[in-house]
Amino acid sequence: MANPPGSKSVAKRRAPAQARARQTRALILEAAIRLLEKRGLRAFSTNRLAEAAGFSVGTIYQYFENKQEILDALARHERDRRLARTTRTLTSHAQETGTTGLSLRDRIRIVVRTELHAFDGRQRARKILFDLSWRGQQHRDMDRPVTVLADMLAAGQVVDGERGAVRLSATDSFVLTQAVAGIVRAALERDEQMLLAPEFEDAVVELVAGFVEARRCKP
Protein backbone atom coordinates (compact mmCIF):
# COMPACT_ATOMS: atom_id res chain seq x y z
CA MET A 1 0.00 0.00 0.00
CA ALA A 2 2.48 2.56 1.09
CA ASN A 3 4.53 0.85 -1.55
CA PRO A 4 2.58 -0.49 -4.48
CA PRO A 5 4.99 -2.51 -6.54
CA GLY A 6 6.92 -0.37 -8.95
CA SER A 7 6.34 2.92 -7.21
CA LYS A 8 9.57 3.38 -5.34
CA SER A 9 9.18 7.11 -5.43
CA VAL A 10 11.70 8.24 -2.88
CA ALA A 11 15.13 7.19 -3.91
CA LYS A 12 16.77 8.53 -0.83
CA ARG A 13 14.81 6.19 1.44
CA ARG A 14 16.05 3.27 -0.54
CA ALA A 15 19.65 3.42 0.36
CA PRO A 16 19.38 3.07 4.11
CA ALA A 17 16.65 0.49 3.68
CA GLN A 18 18.90 -1.53 1.47
CA ALA A 19 21.74 -1.13 3.85
CA ARG A 20 19.58 -2.47 6.62
CA ALA A 21 18.40 -5.28 4.43
CA ARG A 22 21.95 -6.23 3.64
CA GLN A 23 22.75 -6.19 7.30
CA THR A 24 19.75 -8.38 8.17
CA ARG A 25 20.81 -10.84 5.53
CA ALA A 26 24.29 -10.91 6.96
CA LEU A 27 22.96 -11.44 10.47
CA ILE A 28 20.89 -14.36 9.31
CA LEU A 29 23.82 -15.97 7.58
CA GLU A 30 26.05 -15.44 10.57
CA ALA A 31 23.45 -17.05 12.82
CA ALA A 32 23.15 -19.88 10.34
CA ILE A 33 26.86 -20.66 10.49
CA ARG A 34 26.78 -20.52 14.26
CA LEU A 35 23.80 -22.82 14.41
CA LEU A 36 25.33 -25.26 12.00
CA GLU A 37 28.51 -25.29 14.01
CA LYS A 38 26.83 -25.73 17.33
CA ARG A 39 23.98 -28.07 16.54
CA GLY A 40 24.72 -29.76 13.25
CA LEU A 41 22.72 -30.11 10.08
CA ARG A 42 19.89 -32.11 11.56
CA ALA A 43 19.04 -29.36 14.01
CA PHE A 44 19.31 -26.73 11.32
CA SER A 45 15.66 -25.92 10.81
CA THR A 46 14.29 -22.62 9.63
CA ASN A 47 12.48 -22.11 12.89
CA ARG A 48 15.55 -22.69 14.92
CA LEU A 49 17.53 -20.46 12.65
CA ALA A 50 14.96 -17.72 13.08
CA GLU A 51 15.27 -17.96 16.83
CA ALA A 52 19.04 -18.02 16.73
CA ALA A 53 19.12 -15.03 14.43
CA GLY A 54 16.67 -13.09 16.57
CA PHE A 55 14.22 -12.69 13.74
CA SER A 56 10.99 -14.44 12.98
CA VAL A 57 10.68 -17.18 10.41
CA GLY A 58 8.76 -14.88 8.18
CA THR A 59 11.65 -12.48 7.98
CA ILE A 60 13.97 -15.20 6.90
CA TYR A 61 11.67 -16.01 4.04
CA GLN A 62 11.80 -12.40 3.07
CA TYR A 63 15.49 -12.74 2.37
CA PHE A 64 15.72 -16.28 1.12
CA GLU A 65 13.42 -18.25 -1.13
CA ASN A 66 13.83 -21.39 0.92
CA LYS A 67 16.10 -23.21 3.26
CA GLN A 68 18.36 -24.58 0.57
CA GLU A 69 19.15 -21.09 -0.60
CA ILE A 70 20.54 -20.26 2.79
CA LEU A 71 22.77 -23.26 2.74
CA ASP A 72 23.89 -22.36 -0.75
CA ALA A 73 24.69 -18.83 0.25
CA LEU A 74 26.68 -20.11 3.16
CA ALA A 75 28.62 -22.53 1.01
CA ARG A 76 29.34 -19.86 -1.55
CA HIS A 77 30.57 -17.55 1.14
CA GLU A 78 32.93 -20.14 2.54
CA ARG A 79 34.23 -20.94 -0.88
CA ASP A 80 34.95 -17.28 -1.56
CA ARG A 81 36.94 -17.07 1.62
CA ARG A 82 39.01 -20.03 0.59
CA LEU A 83 39.47 -18.75 -2.93
CA ALA A 84 40.52 -15.33 -1.76
CA ARG A 85 42.99 -16.85 0.65
CA THR A 86 44.57 -19.05 -1.96
CA THR A 87 45.04 -16.35 -4.56
CA ARG A 88 46.17 -13.84 -1.98
CA THR A 89 48.83 -16.17 -0.69
CA LEU A 90 49.87 -17.14 -4.16
CA THR A 91 50.28 -13.56 -5.37
CA SER A 92 51.84 -12.24 -2.20
CA HIS A 93 54.45 -14.93 -2.36
CA ALA A 94 55.01 -14.16 -5.97
CA GLN A 95 55.53 -10.47 -5.24
CA GLU A 96 57.90 -11.11 -2.40
CA THR A 97 60.11 -13.39 -4.35
CA GLY A 98 59.59 -12.30 -7.88
CA THR A 99 57.58 -14.53 -10.16
CA THR A 100 60.42 -16.59 -11.33
CA GLY A 101 61.72 -17.23 -7.84
CA LEU A 102 58.76 -19.42 -6.98
CA SER A 103 59.33 -22.99 -8.05
CA LEU A 104 56.47 -25.22 -9.16
CA ARG A 105 56.76 -27.26 -6.01
CA ASP A 106 56.55 -24.10 -3.93
CA ARG A 107 53.41 -23.05 -5.68
CA ILE A 108 51.89 -26.44 -5.17
CA ARG A 109 52.77 -26.35 -1.52
CA ILE A 110 51.12 -22.98 -1.11
CA VAL A 111 47.89 -24.08 -2.68
CA VAL A 112 47.84 -27.35 -0.79
CA ARG A 113 48.60 -25.73 2.52
CA THR A 114 45.92 -23.13 2.07
CA GLU A 115 43.51 -25.85 1.26
CA LEU A 116 44.45 -27.99 4.22
CA HIS A 117 44.22 -25.11 6.64
CA ALA A 118 40.98 -23.82 5.22
CA PHE A 119 38.91 -25.54 7.83
CA ASP A 120 40.31 -24.04 11.00
CA GLY A 121 37.52 -22.98 13.33
CA ARG A 122 33.91 -23.71 12.60
CA GLN A 123 35.12 -27.06 11.41
CA ARG A 124 31.82 -28.74 11.83
CA ALA A 125 29.93 -26.11 9.88
CA ARG A 126 32.51 -26.14 7.14
CA LYS A 127 32.48 -29.87 6.83
CA ILE A 128 28.75 -29.84 6.49
CA LEU A 129 28.79 -27.16 3.85
CA PHE A 130 31.59 -28.88 2.02
CA ASP A 131 29.55 -32.06 1.92
CA LEU A 132 26.40 -30.35 0.93
CA SER A 133 27.92 -28.55 -1.99
CA TRP A 134 29.81 -31.58 -3.02
CA ARG A 135 26.52 -33.30 -3.29
CA GLY A 136 24.51 -30.46 -4.77
CA GLN A 137 24.59 -28.68 -8.07
CA GLN A 138 27.22 -26.15 -7.17
CA HIS A 139 29.93 -28.76 -6.95
CA ARG A 140 31.85 -27.10 -9.70
CA ASP A 141 31.85 -23.80 -7.93
CA MET A 142 33.11 -25.19 -4.69
CA ASP A 143 36.23 -26.62 -6.17
CA ARG A 144 37.39 -23.35 -7.52
CA PRO A 145 40.11 -22.73 -4.96
CA VAL A 146 41.97 -25.87 -5.85
CA THR A 147 41.22 -25.26 -9.46
CA VAL A 148 43.24 -22.10 -9.39
CA LEU A 149 46.50 -23.92 -9.59
CA ALA A 150 45.16 -26.57 -11.88
CA ASP A 151 43.96 -23.85 -14.19
CA MET A 152 47.28 -22.17 -14.20
CA LEU A 153 48.88 -25.45 -15.05
CA ALA A 154 46.26 -26.30 -17.60
CA ALA A 155 46.85 -22.99 -19.28
CA GLY A 156 50.54 -23.72 -19.40
CA GLN A 157 51.36 -20.61 -17.48
CA VAL A 158 53.81 -22.20 -15.20
CA VAL A 159 57.25 -22.67 -16.43
CA ASP A 160 59.56 -24.37 -14.08
CA GLY A 161 63.07 -23.18 -14.57
CA GLU A 162 64.86 -24.81 -17.41
CA ARG A 163 62.35 -27.66 -17.69
CA GLY A 164 59.47 -27.37 -20.10
CA ALA A 165 56.10 -25.82 -19.45
CA VAL A 166 53.45 -27.86 -17.70
CA ARG A 167 50.18 -28.36 -19.45
CA LEU A 168 47.22 -30.25 -18.12
CA SER A 169 44.23 -31.51 -20.03
CA ALA A 170 40.72 -30.88 -18.70
CA THR A 171 40.62 -34.43 -17.47
CA ASP A 172 43.95 -34.11 -15.72
CA SER A 173 42.80 -30.94 -14.09
CA PHE A 174 39.66 -32.57 -12.86
CA VAL A 175 41.46 -35.56 -11.51
CA LEU A 176 43.96 -33.45 -9.66
CA THR A 177 41.40 -31.13 -8.19
CA GLN A 178 39.13 -33.86 -7.00
CA ALA A 179 41.90 -35.91 -5.57
CA VAL A 180 42.86 -33.06 -3.28
CA ALA A 181 39.25 -32.35 -2.42
CA GLY A 182 38.66 -36.00 -1.60
CA ILE A 183 41.64 -36.14 0.67
CA VAL A 184 40.57 -33.07 2.56
CA ARG A 185 37.01 -34.38 2.85
CA ALA A 186 38.18 -37.68 4.24
CA ALA A 187 40.64 -36.18 6.69
CA LEU A 188 37.95 -33.83 7.89
CA GLU A 189 35.77 -36.81 8.60
CA ARG A 190 38.40 -39.02 10.12
CA ASP A 191 40.44 -36.65 12.20
CA GLU A 192 40.63 -32.96 11.67
CA GLN A 193 44.03 -32.65 13.28
CA MET A 194 45.46 -34.76 10.50
CA LEU A 195 45.12 -31.83 8.15
CA LEU A 196 47.71 -29.88 10.04
CA ALA A 197 50.39 -32.56 10.27
CA PRO A 198 53.51 -31.75 8.20
CA GLU A 199 53.87 -35.26 6.83
CA PHE A 200 50.30 -35.07 5.66
CA GLU A 201 51.02 -31.91 3.76
CA ASP A 202 54.13 -33.52 2.35
CA ALA A 203 52.20 -36.50 1.10
CA VAL A 204 49.65 -34.33 -0.66
CA VAL A 205 52.28 -32.13 -2.20
CA GLU A 206 54.07 -35.22 -3.37
CA LEU A 207 50.91 -36.58 -4.91
CA VAL A 208 50.27 -33.39 -6.83
CA ALA A 209 53.86 -32.84 -7.80
CA GLY A 210 54.24 -36.43 -8.90
CA PHE A 211 51.29 -36.11 -11.20
CA VAL A 212 52.36 -32.79 -12.62
CA GLU A 213 55.81 -34.14 -13.22
CA ALA A 214 54.38 -37.07 -15.16
CA ARG A 215 52.36 -34.68 -17.28
CA ARG A 216 55.20 -32.36 -18.05
CA CYS A 217 55.75 -31.93 -21.74
CA LYS A 218 58.47 -34.29 -22.55
CA PRO A 219 61.01 -32.24 -24.46
Query: What, of a second copy, DNA, none, does residue 43 touch, CB below 5 to 8 Å by kind?
Result: DNA
Question: Binder to a second copy among 18, 45, 56, 103 (CB under 8 A)?
Answer: 56
Contact status: 26 vs DNA (CB under 7 A):
no
Among candidate residues 90, 74, 69, the one with its CA nearest the CA of residue 36: 74
| Number of other CB atoms surrounding residue 168 within 10 Å | 24
212 neighbors 153 (Cβ within 8 angstroms):
yes
The site map against DNA for 65-104 (x = CB under 7 A) is -xxx------------------------------------
93 neighbors 104 (Cβ within 8 angstroms):
no
Contact status: 217 vs DNA (CB under 7 A):
no
Rounded to whole angstroms, how far apart are CA atoms 192 and 175? Answer: 23
What backbone torsions phi and psi does residue 122 show, to the nearest 5 degrees?
A: 50, 35
Rounded to whole angstroms, how far apart are CA atoms 40 and 168? Answer: 39
Interaction site with DNA (CB under 7 A) = 3, 5-6, 8, 14, 16-18, 20-21, 24, 42-48, 55-59, 61-63, 66-68
Binding residues vs a second copy (CB under 8 A)? 4-6, 24, 27, 53-56, 59, 131, 134-135, 139-140, 169, 171-172, 174-183, 185-187, 189-190, 194, 197, 199-200, 203-204, 206-207, 209-211, 213-215
